[in-house]
Structure 1
Amino acid sequence: MRPWMNALWALIGLIVMLYTPASLAASRPQVEAQFQQWLDNDLWPEAKAKGISRATFDEALKGVTLNFDLPDLVMPGEKPQTPQKQAQSEFGSPGKYFNDKTVNNVTSGGTARAGQYARILQSVEKTYGVPGEIVLAIWGRESGFGSVKIPYNAFAVLGTKTFLATRKDMFRKELLAALEIVEKGYIGAGSMKSSWAGALGQPQFMPTSYLEHAVDFDGDGKRDIWNSVPDTLGSIAHYLAQYGWQRGRDWGYEVTVPESVSCALEGPDQGKPFSTWGKLGIKRVNGRPFPAAEAKGEGFLLMPAGRHGPAFIVTKNFYVLKEYNMSDLYALFIGHVSDRIANGAANFTAGWGDVGGLYRSDIVALQRALEKKGYDAGGADGFPGFKTRRSIGDWQSKQGMAATCFPDKALVAAIR
């Protein structure tokens, strides 16, 4: 066959692959063959350009096959599925995030390890300024203090995600970072285990975070967040320090907020000195004054369930915790459990209200309705973050309603 005919048939084959309808999508063996070609013809040239040796590339990816059991994959020829399950999942009180079993397990585990690793934690705090109880709370939440199995081959996960997931560019960056970790000798390829999402070791760092934040705290020449407790604790603290943890400041305080203070004042862009919040009538629930050192320090109102749950004045350190996991509830969990580890603090004084009966799709519709009315709801993702909450409060106030700053059935119906 003439060369130009070969090229023509190759082009036709590519067109067929790209435009095949879902009903005729490639079989798994075909996709696997495409993956192996992609490793050699697409990924390897970029890895080589980034200084990865062929020996490292082969060590990490030899024998690696696609893991079709991972979530959020899109087979060639198929269209990404809309997140119907999430949209139709029940939306309930944020209080579910603070179930007694999880809080108590992380608290008791952290309390026990506070004594066991006291010397290491003191050294970590001296080095990075992050209290040991904060580090312990994160360690416990992320991997059950190293007890949770991390079973997956990181290269199989990251390779599969890069080739088949919807966020290919993000996972490609992480896959190349994982290769760099092996190239630099931080850990052998066969020992690099991850979660199903590609997060590594006991702190659950993505590979790029490992390169930026993992440290060799036990001085053995390795940054071993899989097996070394000192490296794990030091790496968590180093992560927070690099994101701006302020030495000597707490994360925040549970408070009472009088009805005269709008819940729409919430958010990291509406900070006020602690003394100003105090003049507005906001007080700590334990009756103690805010620390004198915080009088001129900036604090931020946090009401994760609006008027249906506990309220807090938090410091910038709260938002540093949020850098670990971009969720108000995650950061609040870490702060709350750290208090319980440090001084046996009780549960939140205010309870979480009943705001059930809605679905994520209802929240999405609410957010879209608010945005159509000119409010910044922070996007229509089905999760009522602070921008959604305060937009609700502003809308309620303009309607002459008592501001609750949280969605419920009547509110969804009214704003629609």
Structure 2
Amino acid sequence: MSNLRYSLPSLLCAGWMSMSVAYADASFEACKSELRRSAISNQISAQTFDRYVGGVQPDMTVIDRLNFQPEFRTPIWDYMAGLVDEERVEKGQQMRAEHAHLLQEIEQKYGVEGHIVLAIWGVETNYGAISGRYSVVDALTTLSCIGRRQTFFRNELNSALRILQGGHVNPDDFKGSWAGAFGHTQFIPSTFERIAVDFIGDGKRDIVGSIPDALASTANYLKRSNWQANQPWGFEVKLPANLNTNDEGRRTKRPLSTWAQRGLTRVNGSPLTAQGLRADMQAGLIMPAGPEGPSFLVFRNFDALFSYNAAESYALAIGHLSDRILGGPGFSTPWPTDDPPISRSERRELQQLLLDRGHDIGAVDGLIGDRTRGAIQLEQRRLGLADDGRAGLKILTELRKGH
């Protein structure tokens, strides 16, 4: 009797789980049948659908990413330090030399400067080194059947299948982010269909296997976003004391002459119209860390960068990296923090120090995830520091000392 008493609930639970899994499998297969009908009505052959989607099983790690709401918000100074550091600058300069002829051809055709295209390539995939591990079709099929925004993801899945059907990308290499962005500069499939170009003329628009196609496609994107050739994205400025910055921002653009009248100068003290800029050029003021941190006047080209990934921090990283690739300096005004940000090489050093202390944080990759932040918090508490889990200079300095 005792065995029956304990085993019956277990059997019932196991039976319920089996029924749930079976129901989920049936539901997913029913969804795939619906997707198949939609695909056929959207210029995708039944053979293409069956080849690439027929055997797909749901990847719930994609749904985890879809539903993930991060509690840890990266400060702007950490975001910038991770994307624009000496490693990425030096690699960008190497790529500029290696692809000089290609970048010149792209600039001549699309009117977008090579260092701008390189900066997007560098930020998006570290110049092709990290482009994503998810099967684009598997991820989009899962997202088309489970979770939020299914209509959006179904359209992206159809675009992805048309890309494969057209032979543009090697199916084995069709990998990207959990949300379906792929290639050297991370286009989503529908953007690929609208924007990607066959720059080398082989009949394919291959932003995965062809660097020329990828970089030219990126330039074409910016051209269609109204990029203005030979115009700046923006530059750092010095604010006068007691400047009223209420209601200022990227969209509130004023002539440079107006900003000059209000007391703004470049950080080196030169006038805003230096380097041949016109007094009537329209610019908006952004202060990503408030008036105590670096401030910038940004032009229409900043809006074009913003359109690539709708975040001002992203556009600022692209603009700043592009300047650094050309040999420009870092920001003049320090970030308003008593715990300065650290570079990717320093983040890797911090991770190794955490591993040496027995923390299971996974690979030493310079990426600060939940396990690394958790380990940092434990060390911060031990050392009497604020336990915010942030990978800053303070914790790195203390661990370097062997404390």
Question: What TM-score does the superposition give when structure 2 sets the normalisation length?
Answer: 0.75
Contact 1:137 1:338 in 2 (8 A): yes
| Structure 2 residue 48 is matched with structure 1 residue 48 | no
| Structure 2 residue 54 is matched with structure 1 residue 62 | yes
* Alpha-carbon distance, 1:248 to partner: 1.6
Percent identity between matched residues is 37
Q: Equivalent residues in 2 for 1:8-407 (5 A)? A: 27-40=20-33, 42-72=34-64, 86=70, 89-91=71-73, 93-99=75-81, 102-289=84-271, 290=273, 291-342=275-326, 344-354=327-337
Contact 2:89 2:321 in 1 (8 A): yes
Q: 1:102 to 1:32 in 2, by over 3 A?
A: farther
2 CA distance for matches of 1:100 and 1:34? 42
2 CA distance for matches of 1:73 and 1:106? 26
1 CA distance for matches of 2:73 and 2:245? 21
Partner SS for 1:27: helix
Contact 1:73 1:161 in 2 (8 A): no
Q: 1:34 to 1:71 in 2, by over 3 A?
A: closer
Question: How many residue pairs align between the two structures?
Answer: 322
Deviates more, 1:149-158 or 1:29-38: 29-38
Partner SS for 1:70: helix
Deviates more, 1:322-331 or 1:191-200: 191-200
Contact 2:185 2:218 in 1 (8 A): yes
Higher RCO structure, 1 or 2 (CA under 8 Å, sep 6+): 1
Contact 1:161 1:171 in 2 (8 A): yes
2 CA distance for matches of 1:245 and 1:26? 55
Contact 2:83 2:123 in 1 (8 A): no
Aligned residue type for 1:95: W
* Alpha-carbon distance, 1:294 to partner: 2.8
Deviates more, 1:273-282 or 1:332-341: 273-282
Contact 2:131 2:184 in 1 (8 A): no
Contact 1:122 1:132 in 2 (8 A): yes
1 CA distance for matches of 2:329 and 2:177? 32
- Extract structure 1 runs of 4+ deviating beyond 4 A: 23-26
Deviates more, 1:211-220 or 1:176-185: 176-185
2 CA distance for matches of 1:326 and 1:236? 16
**Structure 2 stretches lacking a partner, 5+ long:** 1-15, 340-403
Partner SS for 1:320: helix
Contact 2:131 2:186 in 1 (8 A): no
**Deviation readout 1:18-47 (Å, 9 max, x if unpaired):** xxxxx989734432332122212x112211
2 CA distance for matches of 1:347 and 1:215? 34
1 CA distance for matches of 2:21 and 2:91? 43
